[in-house]
A and B are shown apart, each in its own frame.
Chain A
Amino acid sequence: MKEYAMISEEARSTTEAFGKALTSLADEHKDVVALSADLAGSVKVTLMQKKYPERVFDVGIAEQNMVSMAAGLALGGLVPFAATFSVFLSLRDLDQLHTDICYQDLNVKMLGSHGGTSFSQAGSTHHALEDIAALRGMANLTIICPADYVETQLATKAAYEKYGPIYIRINRGTDYDVYNTESYGFEIGKSVLMNEGNDFTCIACGSMVHEALVAARSLKEKGVDLRVINMHTIKPIDKDAILKAMKETGGIVTAEDHNVIGGLGSAVSEVVAENGGAKKFKRLGVPDEFSIIGARKDILAHYEIDAAGIEKNVLALLNK
């Protein structure tokens, strides 16, 4: 495992990481403003709201108004962070996001929480399995899916530094820490090598990075060295890391909490297909269906995107 990576028992709230990073950005920069749509508490925009009530706008249950208002704030020279559940931000606001923000290349930052199946019991109307698919075809947009608390904070700060529309997708509840330091060199568009290995590669994002590391630990005992890449930026994707994995390892499996169509797996497969193909390739995620409900760990196990599922698939692809 790389010196900055770890498998931790500690899980922390990434919405809190976002709320704290947002508040410190607001401390430093007067142009930072935030919006939410009756979910300010859930996405922890309330941390900034307590300190700077005049710079936070809760528009009520009106996501489209929120996103177009963010466009206006950006046109007025501010740097708005609009935050609500991923499923509503990406799907209900798709048109506003397209025409008001991406087409005009406005400096709007969007934070979608409760990504993937992380709102486990709420039901499929609250799972966000299509957000990345819906947004990936949007020109000018950057898409980031951080792996843990530390990375969510770094991604939030980096989003401020980089001009243009950015969508950050995090989860409900908590995610296991996968970094033991903040200085591992987070950079938008540059993946992070978490574990070296040449037998096979797992390219993961979000919660699946932790799962892939656990799988790698277990596979090592079975004599398989699994390379683990944290592809935190899904767009623009880090082609070099994929090409290297194609060349140096026995194949690639992708792992994401998203429909297998249109997300990380699709993004990686596009690079793979255009560059001669991988020796072996498989996308893990939710097959093309609306997900089951239940405890998050059960859902991840059901769709084989937990450590055991990743391990099982890697072994099968290696014919072991």
Chain B
Amino acid sequence: MNFGKENYLSPDRDRLIISKGHAGVITAPILADLGIMDEALLPSYNHTGSPFGVHLDKRKVKGLEASTGSLGHGLSIGLGLAMAARLNQKDYTTYVLLGDGECDEGSIWEAAMSAAHFKMTNLITLVDRNNCMIDGRTEDVMALEPFADKWRAFGFEVMEIDGHLFPEIISALEKAKANKTDKPVCIILNTFKGEGVGFMRDNYKWHYGTLNEEQLAEAFADLEAYETARIARAEKEGK
């Protein structure tokens, strides 16, 4: 993405809308790593008067394109940003990250229909397909399958990849940007909720929760092991 500390306010930057706004807790540290959000703010998470709680507020946290949290809005916002790029003759790309449960919202499909209708090839939709929502697994609460076919039927070029593998993500994004058709692209990221933490992995009950000391230690240990294995694998595969 053409996005960083130097250009996060530039009209030419790429845009990312985190439509599943409850992912704010992982968005903030990334913005801090990029040097955009003040790192010193991180420990104030959820404290009274803090600029930053579960759902991030664009007016209070630098580097965000939109305040999200009410699900189902992001793709339409992205559509508007992409259309603005076209009108303003800018060549930035707009990325929108959706939750799979979020795709229950009719508004997502209204936006999808429009994106195809308007041939928005400068808009890239990513869906975090972790099969989990709050009340249960997506296929138990409200079945989404055949999910990729739904996007295809709405006029999208669809890619399905392993959403935990950076090389796959990078190559899918490159392909999406090189897209020569007049269809918008949707990348379905097959993922596991809580990947990297054994007791959370693929468990919808961990959508929202509080860790006790023991669990915290276990989670950190799991994540370290996960990271080590990931690096070892990448080195072996030369990526």
Contact = CB atoms under 8 A, between A and B. Distances in A.
Interface of A: 36, 38-42, 58-62, 64-65, 87-88, 92, 121-126, 292-295, 298-299, 302
Contact of B102 (A39, A61, A126, A293): A61
Given A58-B135, A58-B142, A62-B142, A121 B104 contact: no
A178 B65 CA distance: 44
Contacts of B69: 122-123, 125-126
Given A42-B134, A87-B70, A294-B53, 8 more contacts: A58-B135, A60-B138, A60-B141, A60-B142, A62-B106, A123-B24, A125-B57, A299-B48
Most A CB contacts (10 A, CB to CB) among B49, B134, B138 go to: B134
Given A59-B104, A61-B104, A123 B135 contact: no
Contact of B101 (A61, A88, A299): A61
Contact of B133 (A42, A61, A87, A88): A61
B67 interface: yes
B121 to A, nearest CB: 28
A287 to B, nearest CB: 15
Contact of A88 (B53, B70, B104, B141): B70
Contacts of B55: 122-126
Contact of B54 (A40, A61, A122): A122
Contacts of A298: 48-49
B228 to A, nearest CB: 33
Contacts of A292: 48-49
A16 B102 CA distance: 26
**B interface, how many residues as a size bin?**
20 to 34
Given A41-B135, A125-B55, A293-B48, A61 B72 contact: yes
Contacts of A126: 54-55, 69
Contact of A294 (B24, B48, B104): B48
Most A CB contacts (10 A, CB to CB) among B54, B55, B71, B135 go to: B135
A296 to B, nearest CB: 10
Main secondary structure of the interface of B (DSSP, over half): loop
Interface in B53-73: 53-57, 67-72
A293 B46 CA distance: 7
Contacts of A61: 71-72, 101-102, 104-105, 133, 142
Given A125-B21, A126-B69, A38 B50 contact: no
A58 B135 CA distance: 8
A33 B230 CA distance: 49
B134 A294 contact: no
Contacts of B142: 38, 58-62
Most B CB contacts (10 A, CB to CB) among A58, A59, A87 go to: A58
Nearest to A87: B70
A16 B24 CA distance: 28
Nearest to A37: B104
A294 B106 contact: no
A44 to B, nearest CB: 12
B134 A41 contact: yes
A38 B133 contact: yes
A123 B56 CA distance: 7
Nearest to A45: B135
B239 interface: no
21 contacts: A38-B104, A38-B141, A42-B134, A58-B135, A61-B105, A62-B104, A122-B54, A123-B53, A123-B54, A123-B55, A123-B57, A124-B55, A125-B55, A293-B49, A293-B50, A294-B46, A294-B47, A294-B53, A295-B48, A298-B49, A299-B48
Given A62-B142, A122-B54, A294 B135 contact: no
A121 B69 CA distance: 13
A41 B135 CA distance: 6
A129 to B, nearest CB: 14
Given A42-B134, A126-B69, A62 B48 contact: no
Contacts of B50: 293-294
Contacts of B67: 124-125
Nearest to A123: B55
B212 to A, nearest CB: 18
Nearest to B205: A41
Contacts of A65: 106
B101 A121 contact: no
B135 A122 contact: no
4 closest residue pairs by CB, A with B? A294-B48, A60-B142, A125-B69, A60-B104
Most A CB contacts (10 A, CB to CB) among B21, B71, B101, B138 go to: B71
A261 B70 CA distance: 22
Contacts of A124: 55, 57, 67
Nearest to A46: B135
A39 B134 contact: yes
A23 B71 CA distance: 29
A49 to B, nearest CB: 9
Contacts of A92: 70
